[in-house]
Amino acid sequence: MNVITTEQLLQKIEAGEEISVIDVRESDEVANGIIPGAKHIALGQIESNMDQLDKSVPHYIVCKAGGRSAMACEILEENGYNVTNIARGMMDWDGELQF
């Protein structure tokens, strides 16, 4: 499984790369903050909503600490998606890392 840090993700954005971030936390968690531009699909909804995701682009998957996003990555990889887990997820998200 591919893994990236929030800092590495920010570098990609600053380099002008268009990215797709999928937040797999629950709605009450997302209500407390989400990475700007991220799409929210809770882990329990990934399989029934993966048709909303474009297989031709890489997706970066985030949760609170990296466990649920790793599970989402496994599901999506098994179905032909190019995904990368954001290590330590929102725990490592620093308010200064805005994009």
Give me the active site residues, please.
63
CA distance 94 to 75: 28
CA distance 11 to 65: 20
Distance, C-alpha 59 to centroid of its chain = 7
In single-letter form, the type of residue at position 43 comes to L
CA distance 6 to 89: 7
Residues 35/63, Cβ–Cβ less than 8 Å: no
